[in-house]
């Protein structure tokens, strides 16, 4: 049994220590907001926060995050930054197909958590590993700027 702290709750999971965190979240805990994309930590679709920093859940063994604070998209809106980001996403109608959006939002929340006045370059750098097949990058950047403005 491995104990992990997910969305503020201590959970015991009976999985192999090398099981990717993504599958523990989805299959063991039923938290399906975090999606599977590439399985190689290249696309950012599976992004969660571990101790406030973005992390690719598909390539992270659950044993590596035992005892650390894991936050998923399911509770991202419980923080002021998360609420601002999700509201900006809705206001600017960022979502097209929506598949990558939980990862995009988690990356944006992490960025604004550490930098409340990001430049376009800051945004591009922070979001560079978060791919969107629908190419809504212009709306994503605009939404991050809008969220930052609402947090000022």
pLDDT digits (tens, 9 = 90+) for 95-123: 999 999 999 999 999 999 999 999 999 99
pLDDT of residue 79: 95
- Compute the residue count for the chain: 152
pTM to 2 decimal places = 0.94
Q: 69-71 and 9-13: which strand pairing?
A: unpaired
CATH 1.10.150.120 in the chain, residues?
A: 79-151
pLDDT tens-digit map of 8-53? 999 999 999 999 999 999 999 999 999 999 999 999 999 999 999 9
Element (H, E) at 6: strand 2-6
In 3-state terms, what secondary structure has residue 55?
Answer: strand
- Which two structure tokens, joined as six digits, stand for 93? 């109608």
Angle at 114 between CA 120 and CA 88, to 5 degrees: 60
- Which two structure tokens, joined as six digits, stand for 135? 């190419």
Given a contact cutoff of 8 angstroms between Cβ atoms, the answer to whether 152 and 117 are in contact is: yes
pLDDT of residue 77: 92
DSSP 58: G
Sheet holding 47-50, edge to edge: 9-13, 2-6, 69-71, 47-50, 53-56
Cα radius of gyration rounded to whole Å, the chain: 15
Given a contact cutoff of 8 angstroms between Cβ atoms, the answer to whether 49 and 89 are in contact is: no
CATH 3.10.20.30 in the chain, residues?
A: 2-72
Instruction: State the architecture of 79-151 in CATH terms.
Output: Orthogonal Bundle (1.10)
Instruction: State the architecture of 2-72 in CATH terms.
Output: Roll (3.10)
Calpha distance 56→46 (Å, rounded): 6
Query: Which neighbouring-strand residues pair with 71?
Result: 49
């Amino acid at each position: 049994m491995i104990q992990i702290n997910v969305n503020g709750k201590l959970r015991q999971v009976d999985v192999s220590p090398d099981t990717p965190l993504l599958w523990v979240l989805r299959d063991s805990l039923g938290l399906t907001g975090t999606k599977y994309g590439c399985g190689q930590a290249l696309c950012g679709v599976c992004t969660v926060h571990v101790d406030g920093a973005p992390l690719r859940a598909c390539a992270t063994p659950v044993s590596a995050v035992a005892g650390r604070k894991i936050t998923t998209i399911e509770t991202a809106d419980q923080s002021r930054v998360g609420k601002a980001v999700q509201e900006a996403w809705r206001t600017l109608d960022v979502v097209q197909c929506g598949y990558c959006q939980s990862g995009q939002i988690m990356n944006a929340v992490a960025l604004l958590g550490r930098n409340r006045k990001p430049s376009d370059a800051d945004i591009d750098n922070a979001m560079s590993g978060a791919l969107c097949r629908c190419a809504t990058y212009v709306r994503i950047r605009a939404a991050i700027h809008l969220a930052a403005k609402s947090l000022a």
